[in-house]
Amino acid sequence: MNPVPYPRAEGRPLVLGHRGASGEAPENTMAAFRRAMDAGADGVELDVWRCGSGEVVVIHDEDGRRTAGSSLRVTGATLARLRELDVGAWRGASFRGERIPRLEEVLEAFPGAVVNVEMKAGRVPDPRLAARVACIVRDLAATERVVVSSFSCSLLAAFRALSPRVPSAYLVAPGRLWEARARACTALARTNGIHPEHGLVTGTRLRAWRARGLAVGTWTVDAPAEVDRLARLGVDAVVSNHPGTAREVVRRATGR
């Protein structure tokens, strides 16, 4: 069965808020997601883990040190314990009281948003995370507006086996043998997208990825000149900490 097509905007790249509008609000919170959508983003990118009680929670790090001042490890803590953490106060008093959301809450709160769900892996990838994400996307009928991504080839392969009709993409960072790894994983996990760091995207590479049938989304793009370059090249999505600014640059570059 062929996957549902990668979400696209006509004549321009999608603009997704990186962990929401994380340049202006505490990352991976409902406040950051609201700000991204209010700024004109097409949707958001977010990070997920499966916590100790089994729910899929939205947070980037393996613990709460950076965003909540707590050493609590996400994969070992219950949802109730994680909900006690304040993940907004570090960005200012106006964000005090923001809590770690569940993936379902984000999808339900923003029914018109494209959502790029990055599955985090840590040292040992958790295949049960892939299974839970697949169930949530199916149960909420979000198949056509979700893209699932990861740096973990095994998680992507597990997700693809469980949810063949949801678009998926391999995340690529600069480093030794990145091109070989990217080619191998996109083939092994049968992704229909690739998400390289923005500096890796050239016209030649974009054409090569497209020739393989891969949609191309890129991260994390904040400099207006770089947003402009990528929009004119014709990537399918840009992920930015400042989605409002990125959306305006895309509009000027493409007329859309």
Q: Report d(CA 53, CA 81) in Å as an integer.
A: 10
226-251 pLDDT per residue, tens: 999 999 999 999 999 999 999 999 99
Instruction: For the chain, give the mean pLDDT.
Output: 97
4 pLDDT band, cuts 50/70/90, is confident
For every residue of 92-160, DSSP letters joined together read -GGGTT--PPBHHHHHHH-TT-EEEEEEP--SS--HHHHHHHHHHHHHTT-GGGEEEEES-HHHHHHHH
pLDDT value of residue 1? 46
Looking at residues 17-43, what average pLDDT do you find? Answer: 98
With contact defined as beta carbons under 8 Å apart, do 75 and 49 qualify?
yes
Residues 6+ away with beta carbon under 8 Å from 23: 222, 240, 241, 242
CA 222 to chain centre: 16
68 pLDDT band, cuts 50/70/90, is very high
What superfamily in CATH does domain 18-254 come from?
Phosphatidylinositol (PI) phosphodiesterase (3.20.20.190)
pLDDT value of residue 3? 62
83-140 pLDDT per residue, tens: 999 999 999 999 999 999 999 999 999 999 999 999 999 899 999 999 999 999 999 9
Looking at residues 135-153, what average pLDDT do you find? Answer: 97
Looking at residues 66-82, what average pLDDT do you find? Answer: 98
pLDDT at 2 over 80: no
